[in-house]
Chain A
Amino acid sequence: MTNHWNDIQHTDCALIIGANPAENHPISMKFVQKAKERGATVISADPRYTRTSTQAHIYAPFRSGTDIPLIGGLIHYAIENDLIHKEYVVNYTNASFLVNEDYQFNDGIFSGYDENSRSYDQSTWTFQTDEDGNILKDETLQHPRSVYQLMKEHYSRYDVDTVCSVTGTPKEDFLKMAEAFCATGQVGKSGTIMYAMGTTQHTVGSQNVRAYGLIQLLLGNIGVPGGGVNAMRGECNVQGSTDMALLFHILPGYLPAPTGTERHKDLASYNKNETPHGGWWNNRPKYLVSLLKAWYGDAATKENDFLYDYLPKNSRNSSHISLFEAMYDGDIKGMLVWGQNPIVGGPNTTKEQKAMENLDWLVAIDLWETETAAFWKQKAGSNPESINTEVFMLPACGPYEKEGAVTNSSRWKQFRWKALEPKGEAKADAWICHNLAKRVKKLYQGDNSTKGNIINALNWSFGDGDYPSNDLINREINGYDLTTGKTVLNFTQLQDDGTTSCGNWIYSGVYPDAGPDEEKNRAKDRDNKDTGMENYLNWSFAWPLNRRILYNRASADLNGQPWSDDKKVIWWDGETWANSYDVPDFAAVKAPGTPAEPGAPALAGHSGDDPFIMNAHGHGGLFAPMNDGPFPEHYEPYESPVPNAFSSVDLNPAVVIWTGDYNEKGDRSQFPIVVTTYRLTEHWQSGSMTRNLEWLSELQGHMFVELSEELAEEKGIKNKDKVVISSARGEIEAYAMVTKRFKPYTIRGEKVHHIGMPWHWGYMGITTGAIANTLTPHIGDANTMIPEYKAFLGDVRRAD
Chain B
Amino acid sequence: MFDLSRRQFLKLSGATAATVAVVELGFNPNEAKAQANEYKIARASTTPTICPYCSVGCGILVHVNEEKNDVLYTEGDPDHPINKGSLCSKGTSIRQLYTSDRRVEKPLYRAPGSSEWVEKDWDWTLNKIAEKIKKTRDESFVERENGITVNRTEAIASLGGAALENEECYLIAKFMRGLGATFIEHQARI
Contacts and interface: CB of A to CB of B under 8 A. Distances in A.
A451 B181 contact: no
Interface in B145-163: 145-146, 148-163
A244 B166 CA distance: 7
Contact of B159 (A5, A335, A444): A335
A315 B187 contact: no
Interface stretch (A23-31, A89-97, A150-158, A650-658): A23-31
Q: How large is the interface on A (under 10, 10 to 19, 20 to 34, 35 or more residues)?
A: 35 or more
B152 to A, nearest CB: 4
Interface string A316-360: 001110010011000111111111101001110000000000001
A395 B97 CA distance: 13
A405 interface: yes
B174 A695 contact: no
Interface string A505-536: 00100000000000000001111101000101
Contact of A536 (B81, B87, B97, B180): B81
B177 A312 contact: yes
A446 B69 CA distance: 43
Interface in A203-237: 232-237
Interface in A1-17: 5-6
B81 A784 contact: no
Contacts of A331: 154-155
A600 interface: no
B187 A417 contact: no
A478 B81 CA distance: 25
B interface SS class: mixed
B112 A389 contact: yes
Contacts of A407: 166
Interface residues of B, number: 121
Given A423-B98, A539-B81, A236 B113 contact: no
A429 B172 contact: yes
Contact of B183 (A323, A342, A360): A323
A326 B174 CA distance: 23
Contacts of B154: 315, 318, 326, 331-332
A360 B136 contact: yes
Contacts of B185: 246-248, 318-320, 323
Given A236-B52, A339-B161, A416-B50, A246 B172 contact: yes
Given A236-B52, A333-B155, A450-B143, A6 B163 contact: no
Interface stretch (A257-265, A602-610, A711-719, A740-748): A257-265
Which one of A27, A315, A766 has the greatest number of beta carbons of chain B within 10 Å?
A27
A462 B148 CA distance: 33
A403 B178 CA distance: 24
A403 B168 CA distance: 10
Nearest to B45: A419
Contacts of B79: 526, 528
B167 A430 contact: yes
Contacts of B56: 5, 25-28, 408-409
Interface stretch (B26-34, B35-43, B120-128): B120-128
Interface stretch (A159-167, A172-180, A481-489, A682-690): A682-690
B2 interface: no
Contacts of B162: 234-238, 241, 339-340
Contacts of A588: none
A337 B160 contact: yes
B113 A241 contact: no
Contacts of A309: 149, 151
A385 B113 contact: yes
B88 to A, nearest CB: 4
Contact of B166 (A243, A360, A369, A425): A243
Contact of B148 (A26, A260, A318, A389): A260
A367 B164 CA distance: 12
Contacts of A260: 145-146, 148, 150, 152
B80 interface: yes
B159 A337 contact: yes
5 contacts: A260-B146, A314-B182, A392-B107, A429-B168, A789-B190
Given A420-B62, A474-B167, 16 more contacts: A236-B52, A237-B163, A241-B169, A244-B172, A245-B184, A246-B172, A295-B178, A333-B139, A333-B140, A334-B156, A336-B157, A392-B109, A432-B126, A433-B172, A526-B11, A681-B90
Top 8 A-B residue pairs of the complex, sorted by shortest distance between their CB atoms: A424-B105, A408-B57, A404-B165, A340-B160, A312-B152, A338-B160, A439-B130, A235-B162
